[in-house]
A and B are shown apart, each in its own frame.
Chain A
Amino acid sequence: MSWSSIESVLFDIGKLVFLVYFMLFLIAVFSEKKVSSAVIGLMVLAVANGMMTALTPVLYELSSRSGIGYKFVWYGSFTLIDCIAVFLLYKFHALLRQSVGRIASLIGQVFLLLASLQSIRFIDRFVIGYDVLQPFYQYLVPLINVLLIPAIIMLWLADIRIRRAVAQEGA
């Protein structure tokens, strides 16, 4: 089964988004002086997104076979990865005794939203059989992933500004 052009474009965007997430994570590792909530959030984001990007072709191949089990593999795997990502966020913050910052909180919300979208889409398509959410699902998931990048950068810059202001006050 070959990919249609739109699916190939979306997959390419997905790979690009993963690279940007990974770059953001690297910048966070080198710019933050110690473990922070932002570093944890970006690490989990890069790992989870990388996993999804790597698995996409295999899952696509599997889900193109007939049988609801194969269809579930696609939606269920992404939901599971989103779920694991939320738990990794929680676990790392708890283990490293970090309070959850705005970036990690946003990343958690996005994973939750994506997991919900996968579930709703699966039920819409295979259980109820309406199939009305196809365009929403096809474009909303990549759109959320792309929009997350400027949102993270904005929150990060705002945090840096606050930290500088506090440091100046303290000096």
Chain B
Amino acid sequence: MTEIFYAVLIVLINLVAWWGYRKLCILQSPVQIQAEVEAEMQRRAHELLVRRDKIEAGAVKENTAVADEQWKDDLAMYMEEFEVKSRLRARKHFSVIE
């Protein structure tokens, strides 16, 4: 019985390694990385919109001013990052080698 337990354990570790390798394979194409960055930025934009909506609808009862300030900070950070990423995209577009 103990043997089976250890066999299952080692096979499980192996399966986790396979899963990690599958994730690694996804990163093989530069287009995929670009798509992941885009998806992440989109997710953050969506989250910011939801938070704004909540603040305006009065769903945030306590510390409304703090929440508003925090939202503005996060938006500024998002916009800054978005600009950096657009600059990087533009540079990549014009360069011969990445």
Contact = CB atoms under 8 A, between A and B. Distances in A.
B66 interface: no
B20 A86 contact: yes
B24 A93 contact: yes
A76 B6 contact: yes
Size class of the B contact interface (CB-based, 8 Å): 20 to 34
A126 B14 CA distance: 17
Nearest to A162: B97
Contact of B21 (A75, A108, A126): A108
Given A83-B20, A90-B23, A166-B97, A123 B7 contact: yes
Contact of A72 (B6, B17, B23): B6
Interface of B: 2-4, 6-7, 9-11, 13-14, 16-18, 20-21, 23-25, 27-30, 32-33, 36-37, 96-97
Interface of A: 68-69, 72, 75-76, 79-80, 82-83, 86-87, 89-90, 93-94, 97-100, 104-105, 108-109, 111-112, 115-116, 118-119, 122-123, 126-127, 163, 166-167, 169-170
